Structure 1
């Protein structure tokens, strides 16, 4: 597992690109553009720029084959989610997991099953 400090920070737009690659890779830039046609109105140039940024951040790799480049993720979805969660926690709750959970639980309707699952998670955390 890569330490959080070493993982790249990925922008909201870049998330759309890397999600495509997590679902299916390697892909050429044309295949990424085709996959994003339905959910964005971005031009191919914009998508190429985002791909380049992700390569520069070392979030995705590139395999150069003759005239086509294919792209693949270098970081996992779980690793990126850890970075985003940590960033959100710091930005919004000053790093306080307690405040985050308290606000979440107050504002969300939880089923009995979800409450039991949360209790189990907390018990496991207590024992570790």
Structure 2
């Protein structure tokens, strides 16, 4: 799969860090307490675990931090779509030698595909084909 030149790569984010980043991408800006509360009931993480993950993400440059009074407010410093794209490319490279077709074919053979997904895929393929003809 051909790659387009892009902005500098996003930091590598672990599975646990993805969980925290999803909260912050959804919320925009949050304190540690707000992230802990958002994750409560979904995960059995202690507040210190979330704090460690936030610190790691801040150290990696994935989160920006701002002191507001006695609190720290965290916000994403990297775009969700860029991180998702880079993670997808990395996965395709590692597992499918960079090939999209075997990945999609395998998913379609083993997973249920909705009519809406098929319609969206057809539209994306038609747009991609138009771009190739230009």
Among residues 13, 17, 30, which one is paired with 1:27 in the alignment?
Answer: 30
Deviations 1:31-89 (A, max 9, x none): 11111121111122111110011111111100112321100111222122112211111
Number of residue pairs aligned between Structure 1 and Structure 2: 127
Q: TM-score, normalised by structure 2?
A: 0.83
Q: 1:115 — aligned with what? A: 118
**Which residue number in structure 2 is paired with residue 71 of structure 1?**
74
Q: Is the 8 A contact 1:27 1:71 kept in 2?
A: yes
The Cα shift of 1:4 comes to: 6.4
Match of 1:48 among 48, 51, 54: 51
SS of 2:74's partner is: strand
Is this contact kept in 2: 1:8–1:57, CA < 8 A? yes
**8 Å contact kept, 2:9–2:86:** no
Correspondent of 2:102 among 99, 103, 127:
99
Q: What TM-score comes out, normalization by structure 1 length?
A: 0.86
